[in-house]
Structure 1
């Protein structure tokens, strides 16, 4: 999302391509719910479930454009699939990848799902998932970095043996 689009008088028009992709993501989530409702053999969906759309940038979740995005998504959903009903239009959490990763660092499976569900409540509208989790979870934890033992495999100069100084026995 460009700076001009973020601060224009009509961001949906100024950045129609970017918003179009976000709107398509919302419609895709609702189509999934609709297909599951119509054919329970596909997947049974928890009635409290919340869709999640990951973004690169946290701007949308803090903006005043959420209602307009959802309004456009409803119009497109009704044009694409007439079987999508209000029941299928579950809440959708717009979450930046950074926010999601930061939340994963401190969340258990249960507390993550609980925080995601709570984001659909009006009092948490526009909040970051991380902050919702902090507010609603009673547990305090720090999950270990899942790739800690593999960093040297991914980044060649990371291991102490790869950073030889003047002599092979002098390493960082």
Structure 2
């Protein structure tokens, strides 16, 4: 058994292999919710409306390799873009690693279980509206997608030896 720290604690986003980079995505689906930006104030507002390619149950893209063919404005994250994008959720692993933070307890790389992102309440499962069912985005404005997930404490499993990171205020 190795005591070496995990890759996200020792590498920058730029140093990661493609596999490491892809594994940082916890599958919460928050970044795939539509956002609105006020043209005058530049204020960002979140909605609960999911991109038409987001499966709101699995919180995975229905056609990830070809997503830009269907949704041309889908943003392909890169280390450079992560540093400049202001709409990544505060719990996004790309954002956390870029800021020198650790991953939350429910992240699959920490928990070892892809379902903890959902059972913890951190994903959009049960809270997202499919794009084709929504009428006006303005009717689906919500704060929670842009806030740190605050699941009930009962949802936190006891993971032996794993620290439970506390969310940063104001993130």
| TM-score relative to the length of structure 1 | 0.26
Structure with a larger share of its residues in helix: 1
Structure with a larger share of its residues in strand: 2
Larger Rg: 1
Q: Tell me which of the two structures has the higher relative contact order, counting C-alpha pairs closer than 8 angstroms and 6 or more residues apart.
A: 2
| TM-score relative to the length of structure 2 | 0.27
